Amino acid sequence: MTDATPGAPRAIDWELVIGLEVHCQLKTHSKIFCGCATSFGAPPNANTCPVCLGLPGALPVLNARAVQLATRASLAIGCTVHGTSVFARKNYFYPDLPKGYQISQFDQPIATAGAIVVDETSEPPRAIRVHRVHMEEDAGKSVHDRFRDATAIDLNRAGTPLVEIVSEPEIHSAADALSYLRRLKQILEYTEVSDANMEEGSLRVDVNISIRPRGQSTLGTKTEVKNLNSFSSAERAIEVEFARQRALLEAGGRVEQQTLLYDEKKNQVRAARSKEGSHDYRYFPEPDLPPLRLTPEFIEAERATLPELPAAKRRRFAAQYGLGAADIEQLIADRTLAACYEDVARQAGDARRAANWMLGPVLAAVNTSGRPLVEHPVGPERLGALIQLEARGDISNTAARQLFVLMESEDTAPLALATREGLLQVSDDAALVSWIDEVFAESPVEAARFLAGERKLQGVLVGQVMKKSKGAADPKKVNQLLAARAG
């Protein structure tokens, strides 16, 4: 920063403080307190029953699978899962909430105190702490665009099992917020806790934002931007709201605690019709559900089912395969790709070449075909064999690409295919020497100049040898032989 002009007011260095609340739909077949299906895209109100419609006298029964998935999610983000947690009623009126309350967890959530690493390259790795994880049911949906001048209510989502994952307010940039969200989504996908599909609403983000002069320890007044349904919206909403609060405070105004909605088209936030502050929810323990008790055995059994998590995979890929951070990030983006890569690397015996193939031709082919990776016709075994041929110099890079395309439509081993197509490189000295002799005989002037020390002619001569061999000569070998001849 430059020195301030004498007399001019010093610009305030504002610190951004972000807390994230992520609502994640658990991957169960049925709802959290009844047997209704959770399938996406059913006709309006088809997946409902007296329990999720909130009819008098209907009693909730907790879905065991939802508990299992909530436990697994909590463990995967390093939380302590509690032996006892309590469901509570969160009371508010809204047309899409027929009971007049939402069943959630309040002062005794299922899990607390976890962390998500957002940058492992720093020393020590930088992590954002997770304050708590609690279970709750989703509300229904108000549909504003189905009927003219009327709002329709669809209760298919009412009672869908969610976990809400709440970070500590210790994120200080939109970039870190984004990294936190990406990492969290990846963990939820790895553990198969959720589809984490933002378009279908199975992952939704609320962002709490406040600002304060850097160095101040008390938090500023926060606003909450609700229901962001993509990571890029979350990122832009943070930037827009940071700028709005800064301008407000610098103009001598103050930030009002309120709920905001982000308008993607206008790239601005606006006040939401307010539901209330948390003191208005009048939480009390849910009388129709006993406290949720989990035994240590149950918790440990769930821990044992966790797969290798992304953070561990990242570290292992760096140590075991010596790959760069950007390649690793792409390879571990999902578990299937990571597993397939490891298979190919093993078959090929060359981790770096295998990574280049996976991230280059293989992913390109998968994207073009629109089919999942596991259905790609060139499996790890044949791909590994192809990479071996290329690594040994038996075929050129160009030939390897050609063979890969052929292998997509016929199930032949790469060596047999290379032989049939005449793509094997000749690296046998006798054959190469005789081609070089022929070229020297046909171009005696160039040959003499080259032998007399005009090294720049080497390229021309290699070109002629390649031509004579119809592209079959191994150019590296030809170069070596020519260099040896020139002394």
Interacting stretch for Zn ion, rule CB under 5 A, among 10-18, 29-37, 130-138, 316-324? 29-37
**Sign of the CA dihedral running 213, 217, 222, 224:** positive
Site for Zn ion in 319-358 (CB under 5 A): none
Q: How far is the CB of 137 from Zn ion (least distance, A)?
A: 10
Nearer to Zn ion, 51 or 165 (CB): 51
Q: How far is the CB of 34 from Zn ion (least distance, A)?
A: 3
Nearer to Zn ion, 52 or 237 (CB): 52
Nearer to Zn ion, 58 or 481 (CB): 58
Rounded to whole angstroms, how far apart are CA atoms 378 and 396?
Answer: 19
Q: How far is the CB of 32 from Zn ion (least distance, A)?
A: 10
Q: How far is the CB of 55 from Zn ion (least distance, A)?
A: 10
Q: How far is the CB of 37 from Zn ion (least distance, A)?
A: 9
397-409 helix and 380-392 helix, angle to the nearest 10 degrees: 160
Q: How far is the CB of 155 from Zn ion (least distance, A)?
A: 9
Residue listed under structure tokens 């008098």: 56
**CB neighbours of 41 closer than 8 A, spacing ≥ 6?**
none
**CB neighbours of 424 closer than 8 A, spacing ≥ 6?**
394, 395, 418, 472
Q: How far is the CB of 72 from Zn ion (least distance, A)?
A: 24
Interacting stretch for Zn ion, rule CB under 5 A, among 32-40, 54-62, 244-252, 340-348? 32-40
Do 267 and 241 touch, CB atoms closer than 8 A? no
Nearer to Zn ion, 36 or 240 (CB): 36
Bridge partners of 467? none
Interacting stretch for Zn ion, rule CB under 5 A, among 27-35, 299-307, 357-365, 386-394? 27-35
Site for Zn ion in 37-66 (CB under 5 A): 49, 51-52
Do 266 and 36 touch, CB atoms closer than 8 A? no
34 in contact with Zn ion (CB under 5 A): yes
Site size with Zn ion, rule: CB under 5 A: 5
Q: How far is the CB of 58 from Zn ion (least distance, A)?
A: 9
Do 376 and 340 touch, CB atoms closer than 8 A? no
**CB neighbours of 369 closer than 8 A, spacing ≥ 6?**
376
Amino acid occupying residue 428:
D
Nearer to Zn ion, 101 or 106 (CB): 101
475-485 helix and 429-442 helix, angle to the nearest 10 degrees: 60
Interacting stretch for Zn ion, rule CB under 5 A, among 33-41, 205-213, 273-281, 362-370? 33-41
Q: How far is the CB of 148 from Zn ion (least distance, A)?
A: 30
Do 244 and 269 touch, CB atoms closer than 8 A? yes
Nearer to Zn ion, 87 or 404 (CB): 87
Do 465 and 425 touch, CB atoms closer than 8 A? no
Nearer to Zn ion, 51 or 69 (CB): 51
Interacting stretch for Zn ion, rule CB under 5 A, among 35-43, 282-290, 375-383, 428-436? 35-43
Q: How far is the CB of 158 from Zn ion (least distance, A)?
A: 8
Nearer to Zn ion, 52 or 386 (CB): 52
Q: Which of 200, 199, 190, 139 is nearest to 164 (CA)?
A: 139
End-to-end Cα separation, the chain, in angstroms: 60
Do 224 and 186 touch, CB atoms closer than 8 A? no
Do 212 and 14 touch, CB atoms closer than 8 A? yes
Token digits for 206? Answer: 């609320």
Interacting stretch for Zn ion, rule CB under 5 A, among 36-44, 265-273, 324-332, 403-411? 36-44
DSSP reduced 3-state for 250: helix
Interacting stretch for Zn ion, rule CB under 5 A, among 26-34, 117-125, 177-185, 216-224? 26-34
Nearer to Zn ion, 38 or 425 (CB): 38
**Which DSSP string do the residues of 346-374 spell out, in sequence order?**
HHHT-HHHHHHHIIIIIHHHHHHHTS-GG
Nearer to Zn ion, 114 or 159 (CB): 159
Contact positions vs Zn ion (CB under 5 A)? 34, 36, 49, 51-52
